Amino acid sequence: MKEIRTRFAPSPTGFMHIGGVRTALFSYLIAKHNNGSFILRIEDTDQTRYVEGSIEVIYNTLRDLGLNWDEGPDIGGKYGPYVQSERKNNYLKYAQQLIDEGQAYYCFCNEDRLEDLKKIANNKKIPYKYDGKCRELNINEVQKRIEEGEKYVIRFQMPRTGKTIFDDKVYGKITVHNIELEDLIIIKSDLMPTYNFANIIDDHEMDITHIVRGNEFVSSTPKYVLIYQAFGWNIPEFIHLPVIKKEKDSDKKLSKRDGDATVEILKEKGYLNESIINMLALTGWSPGNEKEIFSLNELIEVFDISGISKGNAIFDVDKLNWFNNNYIRKLSIKELCQLTIPYLQKSYDLTEKSSLWLEKLVSIYQEQLSYGAEIIELTKLFFEEELEYDKEALDYLQTIDTKAVISTLKEEIIKINDWNEENIVKAINNIKEKTGIKGKPLFMPIRICVSGKMHGPELPMTIFLLGKEKLIKRL
């Protein structure tokens, strides 16, 4: 049986979009589920979009997530090089083959003419398509214009009759009338291949068996198929993934302008690699049962193409928070501190705070923490002098008489010489005995005075971490 070979081929444009990383993940899972190979290839044919340092971003993001490649620019492989700009002469060779066989041609139409064609199509309210003017140029005229230095591109000659049919592993059989297809540019005027053509050549030469990409590329797939057929090559399996949307029932795609659209932003906010992988796996794919928490190895074991959805996928940040909270709750105290304390260091003055105090502080929020940076907001009551009160808390205080509880609490707190949690618990019990107040009317006013909120972590530990002096001022 032929080895399953998939690839992830990002452009080095400076960031890793959530959609691109999901493509990488699904490509990786298809390969590894079938004991195949996952290849990393850098698509840098459009040098105008290249951003310095982007390739390192790609490497670091994939490695952090555990998506290690079997072949790629940094580790090599028998199908290298794995950077498109290093394969430039290769593409010209194949383009020339298509010209020699009458399946491609030189096109000298300039931008002005193409713009005019687009305006005509727009006025007629029909889709724009290049009219094929240069298809019929004879070889002598072509040669003369090239020798005179006239700029040109090379276009693939689409058939004007018949249909192109291909099977997509997600969307099934797709049929397109060839007359609808534009003669695709395969070599640009700078002699670099277009994205589409370079992909085809590289996928063939690297023996890629399965191509995973977003469903926005479904419309261009018939052109791929026709070029494969023109060369007489085997056509790989196509797996088109549903577009990731920002919200349910919305046409808005998740874009880099959205706050959580790149892995870098998620990592900066303190989302764990495991939760990002888990969320992306279930964005447009289902295991067919109720299970939601998966390790990467578990995903490799159960992943099946049949579970990929045809409909839009929603990147649900609330769901991501739920995943991340599940993983945060499993962290050791050391790991929790490594995740959260850097955020506190950037936001607050910790010079007088001991490492033990910080450990206790972050540990009381471990159960509720959704992502690392959230620790800043959760803990601000310990660092800020002016306390902010929730409306819910203020409304509650209007319903009961808190004077006895608060005044007695202040008396009991002042008496404490050895500031520890055990003595704080005793002080609260003394209030209960002296006032006869217990339950919610006792604990809620204390919590509100301490934190400004009606809900939060264990009250005695919260009081201990706040400190005697700050608590008395607050009371």
Burial-class residue 351 by CB neighbours within 10 Å (0-12, 13-18, 19+): exposed
- Closest by alpha carbon to 5, among 24, 21, 28? 28
One-letter amino acid of 15: F
Distance CA 59, CA 445 (A): 52
| CA angle, residues 29, 32, 35, in degrees to nearest 5 | 150
Nearest to 166 by CA among 209, 216, 223: 223
Which residues, 6 or more positions from 273, have their beta carbon under 8 angstroms from its beta carbon?
Answer: 64, 65, 66
Instruction: Please say whether the beta carbons of 244 and 215 come within 8 A.
Output: no
* End-to-end C-alpha distance for the chain, whole angstroms: 75
- Give me the catalytic one of 256, 360, 380, 468: 256
Residue at token pair 């993934």? 241
Order of strands, sheet of 37-40, starting from the edge strand that comes earlier in the sequence: 37-40, 5-8, 210-214, 237-241, 163-168, 172-177
Collapsed DSSP state (helix, strand, coil) of residue 353: coil
Whole-Å CA distances, 324 to 44, 338, 367, 377: 34, 15, 11, 17
Q: Report the alpha-carbon distance of residue 369 to residue 34 in Å, rounded.
A: 37
Chain-centroid distance of CA 109 in Å reads 39
Residue 213 bridge partners (DSSP): 240
As a whole number of angstroms, the distance between CA 410 and CA 473 comes to: 10
H helical segments located in 292-420: 296-302, 317-328, 333-347, 355-363, 374-378, 391-397, 403-415
Helix (H) or strand (E) holding 305: none
In the residue annotation, 256 being an active-site residue is answered as yes
Distance between CA atoms of 170 and 30, rounded to whole angstroms?
13
Q: Which helix (H) or strand (E) holds 208?
A: none
For residue 174, the surrounding DSSP H or E stretch is: strand 172-177
Cβ of 93: how many Cβ atoms within 10 Å?
9
Query: What gap in Å lies between CA 53 and CA 167, rounded to an integer?
Result: 38
CA–CA distances in Å: residue 373 to residues 15, 151, 194: 20, 53, 41
Q: Which residues are catalytic?
A: 256
